[in-house]
Chain A
Amino acid sequence: MAAKSKRGLIKIDAELCKGCYLCESVCPLNLISISERLNQKGYHPAVYIEEDIGIKEHKCKGCALCAIVCPDIAIEVYRE
Protein backbone atom coordinates (compact mmCIF):
# COMPACT_ATOMS: atom_id res chain seq x y z
CA MET A 1 0.00 0.00 0.00
CA ALA A 2 2.35 2.58 -1.24
CA ALA A 3 1.03 6.04 -0.57
CA LYS A 4 0.55 8.03 -3.70
CA SER A 5 3.57 10.24 -3.73
CA LYS A 6 3.42 13.50 -5.59
CA ARG A 7 6.01 14.17 -8.23
CA GLY A 8 7.36 17.55 -8.98
CA LEU A 9 10.02 19.28 -10.91
CA ILE A 10 11.91 22.53 -10.81
CA LYS A 11 13.29 24.74 -13.54
CA ILE A 12 16.31 26.88 -12.77
CA ASP A 13 17.00 29.91 -14.93
CA ALA A 14 20.79 29.76 -15.14
CA GLU A 15 21.05 33.37 -16.29
CA LEU A 16 19.15 34.69 -13.25
CA CYS A 17 21.11 32.56 -10.78
CA LYS A 18 23.91 34.25 -8.86
CA GLY A 19 25.41 31.06 -7.42
CA CYS A 20 24.64 31.75 -3.76
CA TYR A 21 24.23 27.99 -2.97
CA LEU A 22 21.22 28.60 -0.69
CA CYS A 23 18.97 26.25 -2.72
CA GLU A 24 21.64 23.56 -2.63
CA SER A 25 21.82 23.85 1.17
CA VAL A 26 18.06 23.38 1.76
CA CYS A 27 17.11 20.64 -0.75
CA PRO A 28 16.08 17.65 1.39
CA LEU A 29 16.89 15.20 -1.42
CA ASN A 30 20.13 16.86 -2.57
CA LEU A 31 18.87 17.23 -6.12
CA ILE A 32 20.59 20.54 -6.75
CA SER A 33 24.26 20.97 -7.51
CA ILE A 34 26.46 23.77 -8.76
CA SER A 35 27.41 23.84 -12.41
CA GLU A 36 31.01 23.95 -13.55
CA ARG A 37 30.23 26.31 -16.39
CA LEU A 38 29.81 30.04 -15.92
CA ASN A 39 26.71 32.02 -16.83
CA GLN A 40 26.81 35.40 -18.58
CA LYS A 41 27.15 37.27 -15.30
CA GLY A 42 30.18 35.17 -14.35
CA TYR A 43 28.60 33.05 -11.63
CA HIS A 44 28.50 29.27 -11.40
CA PRO A 45 24.73 28.65 -11.55
CA ALA A 46 22.81 25.98 -9.68
CA VAL A 47 21.54 23.04 -11.76
CA TYR A 48 18.73 20.57 -11.16
CA ILE A 49 20.53 17.22 -11.31
CA GLU A 50 17.67 15.08 -12.66
CA GLU A 51 17.03 17.36 -15.61
CA ASP A 52 20.73 17.79 -16.23
CA ILE A 53 21.42 14.08 -16.70
CA GLY A 54 18.02 13.32 -18.22
CA ILE A 55 16.32 11.15 -15.56
CA LYS A 56 12.66 10.66 -16.47
CA GLU A 57 11.48 9.30 -13.07
CA HIS A 58 11.84 12.43 -11.00
CA LYS A 59 12.56 12.08 -7.30
CA CYS A 60 11.72 15.74 -6.76
CA LYS A 61 8.47 16.22 -4.85
CA GLY A 62 8.06 19.88 -5.66
CA CYS A 63 8.30 20.98 -2.03
CA ALA A 64 9.48 24.40 -3.23
CA LEU A 65 11.96 24.93 -0.37
CA CYS A 66 14.62 25.85 -2.93
CA ALA A 67 12.32 28.40 -4.56
CA ILE A 68 11.37 29.89 -1.19
CA VAL A 69 15.00 30.61 -0.27
CA CYS A 70 16.08 31.67 -3.76
CA PRO A 71 16.76 35.41 -3.58
CA ASP A 72 16.62 35.90 -7.33
CA ILE A 73 13.40 34.03 -8.16
CA ALA A 74 15.44 31.91 -10.55
CA ILE A 75 13.51 28.72 -9.66
CA GLU A 76 10.06 27.79 -10.88
CA VAL A 77 8.34 24.81 -9.27
CA TYR A 78 5.86 22.47 -10.95
CA ARG A 79 3.80 19.79 -9.24
CA GLU A 80 1.41 17.12 -10.46
Chain B
Amino acid sequence: MKKVFGKPKCLKDAVFHYCPGCGHSIIHRLVAEVIDELSIQEKVIGVPPAGCAVLAYDYFDIDIGESPHGRGAAVATGLKRALPDRIVFTYQGDGDIAAIGTAETIHAANRGENITVIFVNNGVYGMTGGQMAPTTIIGQITTTTPGGRNEKRDGAPIDLSEMLALTTGTVYIERTAVDTPKNIIRTKKAIKKAFRVQMAGLGFSLVEVLSACPTNLKLSPVQANEWIGSTMTTYFPLKVIKDKVGKLGALPHLE
Protein backbone atom coordinates (compact mmCIF):
# COMPACT_ATOMS: atom_id res chain seq x y z
CA MET B 1 0.00 0.00 0.00
CA LYS B 2 1.35 3.37 -1.06
CA LYS B 3 0.37 6.58 0.65
CA VAL B 4 -1.48 8.72 -1.89
CA PHE B 5 -2.85 11.46 0.32
CA GLY B 6 -1.47 13.09 3.43
CA LYS B 7 -0.46 16.37 4.95
CA PRO B 8 1.43 18.69 2.55
CA LYS B 9 5.10 19.28 3.32
CA CYS B 10 4.82 23.02 3.92
CA LEU B 11 2.10 22.79 6.56
CA LYS B 12 3.40 22.61 10.11
CA ASP B 13 2.37 19.79 12.40
CA ALA B 14 -0.23 21.99 14.12
CA VAL B 15 -3.94 21.40 14.63
CA PHE B 16 -6.17 23.96 12.87
CA HIS B 17 -8.11 26.16 15.27
CA TYR B 18 -10.96 26.60 12.78
CA CYS B 19 -14.51 25.44 13.54
CA PRO B 20 -15.68 22.00 12.29
CA GLY B 21 -16.40 22.15 8.54
CA CYS B 22 -14.70 25.50 7.97
CA GLY B 23 -13.51 26.18 4.42
CA HIS B 24 -10.38 28.02 5.59
CA SER B 25 -8.53 24.85 6.50
CA ILE B 26 -9.33 23.30 3.11
CA ILE B 27 -8.00 26.40 1.34
CA HIS B 28 -4.89 26.42 3.56
CA ARG B 29 -4.25 22.84 2.48
CA LEU B 30 -4.78 23.65 -1.21
CA VAL B 31 -2.36 26.59 -1.07
CA ALA B 32 0.19 24.38 0.70
CA GLU B 33 -0.22 21.61 -1.88
CA VAL B 34 0.30 24.10 -4.72
CA ILE B 35 3.43 25.50 -3.04
CA ASP B 36 4.75 21.94 -2.69
CA GLU B 37 3.97 21.05 -6.30
CA LEU B 38 5.66 24.18 -7.64
CA SER B 39 8.65 23.62 -5.24
CA ILE B 40 8.65 27.25 -4.12
CA GLN B 41 8.59 26.78 -0.35
CA GLU B 42 11.87 28.71 0.07
CA LYS B 43 10.78 31.55 -2.21
CA VAL B 44 7.20 32.24 -1.23
CA ILE B 45 5.96 34.94 1.16
CA GLY B 46 2.40 34.87 2.46
CA VAL B 47 0.43 37.86 3.73
CA PRO B 48 -2.46 36.75 5.97
CA PRO B 49 -5.36 39.08 6.89
CA ALA B 50 -7.07 40.18 10.04
CA GLY B 51 -9.89 37.71 10.49
CA CYS B 52 -10.18 34.02 11.20
CA ALA B 53 -7.06 33.28 9.13
CA VAL B 54 -4.89 35.73 11.08
CA LEU B 55 -3.01 32.83 12.67
CA ALA B 56 -1.95 31.38 9.31
CA TYR B 57 1.70 31.69 10.42
CA ASP B 58 1.00 28.93 12.92
CA TYR B 59 0.18 26.54 10.09
CA PHE B 60 2.29 27.45 7.05
CA ASP B 61 5.97 26.57 7.13
CA ILE B 62 6.83 29.52 4.86
CA ASP B 63 7.79 33.19 5.31
CA ILE B 64 4.84 35.28 6.46
CA GLY B 65 4.43 39.06 6.61
CA GLU B 66 1.40 39.96 8.67
CA SER B 67 -0.65 42.92 7.43
CA PRO B 68 -2.98 45.43 9.13
CA HIS B 69 -6.67 44.84 8.56
CA GLY B 70 -7.43 44.97 4.83
CA ARG B 71 -3.99 46.17 3.76
CA GLY B 72 -2.75 42.83 2.42
CA ALA B 73 -2.39 44.07 -1.14
CA ALA B 74 -0.41 47.13 0.00
CA VAL B 75 1.95 45.03 2.16
CA ALA B 76 2.34 42.51 -0.67
CA THR B 77 3.17 45.37 -3.07
CA GLY B 78 6.00 46.47 -0.80
CA LEU B 79 7.32 42.93 -0.34
CA LYS B 80 7.20 42.19 -4.07
CA ARG B 81 8.90 45.45 -5.05
CA ALA B 82 11.65 45.02 -2.46
CA LEU B 83 12.17 41.32 -3.24
CA PRO B 84 11.08 40.84 -6.86
CA ASP B 85 12.40 37.27 -7.03
CA ARG B 86 9.99 36.11 -4.30
CA ILE B 87 6.47 34.86 -4.92
CA VAL B 88 4.11 36.93 -2.80
CA PHE B 89 0.52 35.98 -2.11
CA THR B 90 -2.11 37.51 0.14
CA TYR B 91 -4.80 35.46 1.84
CA GLN B 92 -7.80 37.63 2.65
CA GLY B 93 -11.38 37.20 3.76
CA ASP B 94 -14.38 39.08 2.43
CA GLY B 95 -14.56 41.53 5.34
CA ASP B 96 -10.86 42.19 4.93
CA ILE B 97 -10.63 42.63 1.16
CA ALA B 98 -14.13 43.90 0.26
CA ALA B 99 -14.83 46.26 3.16
CA ILE B 100 -11.87 47.85 4.91
CA GLY B 101 -9.29 47.01 2.25
CA THR B 102 -11.22 47.92 -0.91
CA ALA B 103 -9.04 50.91 -1.77
CA GLU B 104 -5.72 49.08 -1.37
CA THR B 105 -6.95 46.10 -3.35
CA ILE B 106 -8.39 48.08 -6.26
CA HIS B 107 -5.31 50.27 -6.61
CA ALA B 108 -2.90 47.33 -6.36
CA ALA B 109 -4.92 45.61 -9.09
CA ASN B 110 -5.03 48.76 -11.19
CA ARG B 111 -1.24 49.14 -10.97
CA GLY B 112 -0.97 45.55 -12.11
CA GLU B 113 1.21 44.53 -9.17
CA ASN B 114 2.69 41.12 -9.79
CA ILE B 115 1.06 39.46 -6.77
CA THR B 116 -1.51 36.72 -6.16
CA VAL B 117 -4.59 37.26 -4.01
CA ILE B 118 -6.55 34.39 -2.46
CA PHE B 119 -9.95 35.90 -1.61
CA VAL B 120 -11.99 33.71 0.74
CA ASN B 121 -15.65 34.71 0.49
CA ASN B 122 -17.94 33.23 3.14
CA GLY B 123 -20.53 36.02 3.25
CA VAL B 124 -20.19 36.98 6.93
CA TYR B 125 -17.69 38.46 9.36
CA GLY B 126 -16.66 35.16 10.90
CA MET B 127 -14.22 36.06 13.67
CA THR B 128 -16.21 38.90 15.20
CA GLY B 129 -19.42 36.92 15.54
CA GLY B 130 -21.28 36.71 12.25
CA GLN B 131 -22.15 40.31 11.39
CA MET B 132 -23.26 41.36 7.89
CA ALA B 133 -20.36 41.63 5.45
CA PRO B 134 -20.35 43.48 2.09
CA THR B 135 -20.78 40.10 0.40
CA THR B 136 -23.72 38.91 2.52
CA ILE B 137 -26.46 37.94 0.09
CA ILE B 138 -29.97 39.42 0.00
CA GLY B 139 -32.19 37.87 2.67
CA GLN B 140 -29.32 36.23 4.57
CA ILE B 141 -29.78 36.39 8.34
CA THR B 142 -26.78 37.62 10.31
CA THR B 143 -26.45 39.08 13.81
CA THR B 144 -26.72 42.64 12.43
CA THR B 145 -29.48 41.80 9.92
CA PRO B 146 -31.80 39.62 12.01
CA GLY B 147 -34.61 40.07 9.48
CA GLY B 148 -32.38 39.25 6.53
CA ARG B 149 -30.30 41.60 4.37
CA ASN B 150 -32.55 44.21 2.75
CA GLU B 151 -31.35 45.65 -0.56
CA LYS B 152 -32.93 49.07 0.06
CA ARG B 153 -31.51 49.47 3.54
CA ASP B 154 -28.17 47.60 3.33
CA GLY B 155 -27.33 47.63 -0.38
CA ALA B 156 -26.74 44.65 -2.65
CA PRO B 157 -23.78 42.26 -2.20
CA ILE B 158 -20.56 43.60 -3.71
CA ASP B 159 -19.02 41.57 -6.49
CA LEU B 160 -15.42 42.57 -5.94
CA SER B 161 -13.95 40.14 -8.46
CA GLU B 162 -16.05 41.60 -11.30
CA MET B 163 -15.04 45.09 -10.19
CA LEU B 164 -11.36 44.17 -10.27
CA ALA B 165 -11.78 42.58 -13.69
CA LEU B 166 -12.59 46.05 -15.06
CA THR B 167 -9.14 47.39 -14.14
CA THR B 168 -6.49 47.06 -16.82
CA GLY B 169 -3.76 45.66 -14.57
CA THR B 170 -5.48 42.38 -13.69
CA VAL B 171 -4.52 39.29 -15.67
CA TYR B 172 -6.32 36.31 -14.19
CA ILE B 173 -9.44 36.27 -11.99
CA GLU B 174 -11.49 33.18 -11.27
CA ARG B 175 -14.26 32.38 -8.81
CA THR B 176 -14.44 28.86 -7.41
CA ALA B 177 -15.85 27.17 -4.31
CA VAL B 178 -14.88 24.49 -1.81
CA ASP B 179 -18.30 22.94 -1.31
CA THR B 180 -17.83 19.66 -3.21
CA PRO B 181 -14.78 17.49 -4.03
CA LYS B 182 -15.07 18.55 -7.70
CA ASN B 183 -15.03 22.24 -6.84
CA ILE B 184 -12.14 21.72 -4.39
CA ILE B 185 -10.06 20.17 -7.19
CA ARG B 186 -11.00 23.09 -9.47
CA THR B 187 -10.00 25.55 -6.76
CA LYS B 188 -6.60 23.92 -6.51
CA LYS B 189 -6.12 24.24 -10.27
CA ALA B 190 -7.14 27.90 -10.13
CA ILE B 191 -4.73 28.66 -7.28
CA LYS B 192 -1.95 26.88 -9.15
CA LYS B 193 -2.62 28.90 -12.28
CA ALA B 194 -2.69 32.15 -10.29
CA PHE B 195 0.73 31.35 -8.79
CA ARG B 196 2.11 30.45 -12.23
CA VAL B 197 0.82 33.75 -13.64
CA GLN B 198 2.87 35.53 -11.01
CA MET B 199 5.92 33.32 -11.55
CA ALA B 200 5.78 34.17 -15.26
CA GLY B 201 5.68 37.88 -14.31
CA LEU B 202 2.40 38.58 -16.10
CA GLY B 203 0.67 40.64 -13.37
CA PHE B 204 -2.14 40.64 -10.83
CA SER B 205 -4.00 37.37 -10.28
CA LEU B 206 -6.89 36.67 -7.92
CA VAL B 207 -8.83 33.55 -6.97
CA GLU B 208 -12.12 34.10 -5.15
CA VAL B 209 -13.13 31.02 -3.19
CA LEU B 210 -16.68 30.62 -1.86
CA SER B 211 -16.26 28.90 1.46
CA ALA B 212 -18.65 27.78 4.18
CA CYS B 213 -18.89 29.29 7.66
CA PRO B 214 -21.21 26.75 9.33
CA THR B 215 -20.92 28.40 12.77
CA ASN B 216 -22.23 31.78 11.65
CA LEU B 217 -24.65 30.46 9.06
CA LYS B 218 -26.15 28.42 11.91
CA LEU B 219 -26.12 25.33 9.71
CA SER B 220 -24.39 21.97 9.92
CA PRO B 221 -21.23 21.73 7.76
CA VAL B 222 -23.02 19.52 5.21
CA GLN B 223 -26.02 21.91 5.02
CA ALA B 224 -23.70 24.92 4.79
CA ASN B 225 -21.97 23.40 1.76
CA GLU B 226 -25.36 22.69 0.17
CA TRP B 227 -26.35 26.31 0.85
CA ILE B 228 -23.28 27.50 -1.07
CA GLY B 229 -24.18 25.37 -4.07
CA SER B 230 -27.88 26.26 -4.08
CA THR B 231 -28.08 29.88 -2.86
CA MET B 232 -24.73 31.66 -2.72
CA THR B 233 -23.75 30.72 -6.27
CA THR B 234 -26.87 32.45 -7.64
CA TYR B 235 -25.31 35.76 -6.52
CA PHE B 236 -21.70 34.69 -7.09
CA PRO B 237 -21.66 32.33 -10.10
CA LEU B 238 -18.58 30.13 -10.39
CA LYS B 239 -16.63 31.03 -13.51
CA VAL B 240 -13.41 32.38 -14.97
CA ILE B 241 -14.06 36.12 -14.75
CA LYS B 242 -10.98 37.33 -16.59
CA ASP B 243 -8.17 35.46 -18.31
CA LYS B 244 -5.65 37.47 -20.30
CA VAL B 245 -2.96 34.79 -19.99
CA GLY B 246 -3.33 33.60 -23.57
CA LYS B 247 -2.96 37.13 -24.99
CA LEU B 248 0.16 37.84 -22.93
CA GLY B 249 1.94 34.63 -23.93
CA ALA B 250 1.47 31.10 -22.66
CA LEU B 251 2.72 30.00 -19.26
CA PRO B 252 6.03 28.13 -19.34
CA HIS B 253 5.81 24.37 -19.09
CA LEU B 254 6.33 22.81 -15.71
CA GLU B 255 9.27 20.47 -15.32
Contact = CB atoms under 8 A, between A and B. Distances in A.
Interface of A: 8-9, 16, 18-22, 25-26, 43, 62, 64-65, 67-69, 71-73, 75-80
B146 interface: no
A71 B222 contact: no
A71 B227 CA distance: 18
A75 to B, nearest CB: 7
B11 A73 contact: yes
Contacts of A69: 26, 180-181, 184
Contacts of A43: 20
A9 B23 CA distance: 25
Contact of A22 (B6, B24, B221): B221
A77 B86 CA distance: 33
4 smallest A-B Cβ distances: which pairs? A20-B21, A18-B20, A77-B5, A20-B20
Q: In which size bucket is the chain B interface? A: 20 to 34
Contact of A68 (B2, B21, B185): B185
13 contacts: A8-B4, A9-B1, A19-B20, A20-B20, A21-B21, A67-B5, A69-B181, A71-B23, A72-B16, A73-B11, A76-B3, A77-B5, A78-B2
B111 interface: no
A77 B3 contact: yes
